[in-house]
Amino acid sequence: MVDSINTQYLPLWTEHDPRIPPRGRVVAAHIEQLDDAEFAVVGTVEEFERGETVPFDPSRQMKIVEAPETLRIEFDRSYRDKKSLALIADIAAILGTEPQPQVKKAVEPLSILTITAQAILGGITAAVTKNLTDDALNRLKQKIALALKRRKESKREYVFQFEFVVIVGGREVQVDLLATSPSENQISRIFDQHLAAVDGVLLRWLPTRSEIRRVVFDVGGEQPKFSYAVRSDVVVLYDGPLAV
């Protein structure tokens, strides 16, 4: 952990909520022995204020997800009831993969269902549809809608997330498409329209922004909306492709 922190920037998130930009970064770490003879990792943290000007530091890259080559379904502990697990198993079978549980160290983390994969620049839509027939794609949408509908019954917010690692000129950029408490129609719109729209935006924008390490879009509405971007040194930017 110490080696990882000292060679990468570790972003500080709020309650595992990807809709909220990172508020800072862990910039250094070391090991200390405690009074009870146990050992602890002690980190040095920097927190930013919105609007603060932070000089760009290209010496390290922000840590991002490690996405698989093909689509994978990931779920947190809010989906560990029997019916939800059965739906997730169905989704994984359609994708031809194994479901992946996520561990979140929070008392009541935001409920998130995630589909993650690698993609080339402009190839997010292809990454989702290339190995799926039209029938399989329709069944995938239906199963996702059913799994999310069970979260609706809890009366708490939940998020559906597409999480891609996009290859841009040899570098990796994480791209997140987020929808808060989406309906079945909204889920279909993401697959049928928003994936392609985001592909077009990234093709125009990312090649000229070599400092960008992560981009987040809200895809819960009629049109996808740019939320924020994060530089490789974990500084948040709000000057992205505002018109999608």
**Residue 243, in any domain of the structure:** no
**Residue 182, in any domain of the structure:** yes
Residues 19, 225 contacting (CB under 8 angstroms): no
Q: How many domains is the chain built from?
A: 2
pLDDT for residue 53 = 86
The pLDDT of residue 243 is above 60? no
The pLDDT of residue 159 is above 90? yes
From 61, 85, 110, the end of a domain falls on: 61
Alpha helices in 130-194 (DSSP H): 134-152, 184-189
**Residue 66, in any domain of the structure:** no
Selected residue with higher pLDDT from 103 and 62: 62
Q: 148 and 190, same structural domain?
A: yes
CA distances from 237 to 103, 132, 191, 242 (A): 28, 35, 27, 12
Token reading at 59: 């010496």
The pLDDT of residue 153 is above 90? no
CB neighbours of residue 232 within 10 Å: 22
Q: 22 and 84, same structural domain?
A: no
Q: 186 and 132, same structural domain?
A: yes
Question: Rounded to an integer, what distance in angstroms lies between the CA atom of residue 111 and that of residue 74?
Answer: 11
Order of strands across the sheet that contains 111-120:
100-101, 72-75, 111-120, 158-168, 171-180, 212-218, 225-231, 236-237
What single-letter amino acid sits at 23? R
- Taking the CA atoms of the chain, what radius of gyration do you get in angstroms? 19
Residues 94, 141 contacting (CB under 8 angstroms): no
| Mean pLDDT confidence for 9-17 | 90
Structural domain of residue 21, as residue ranges? 2-61
The dihedral through the CA atoms of 231, 21, 215, 74 has a sign that is positive
CB neighbours of residue 221 within 10 Å: 13
Q: Which band of pLDDT confidence, cut at 50, 70 and 90, is reported for residue 106?
A: low
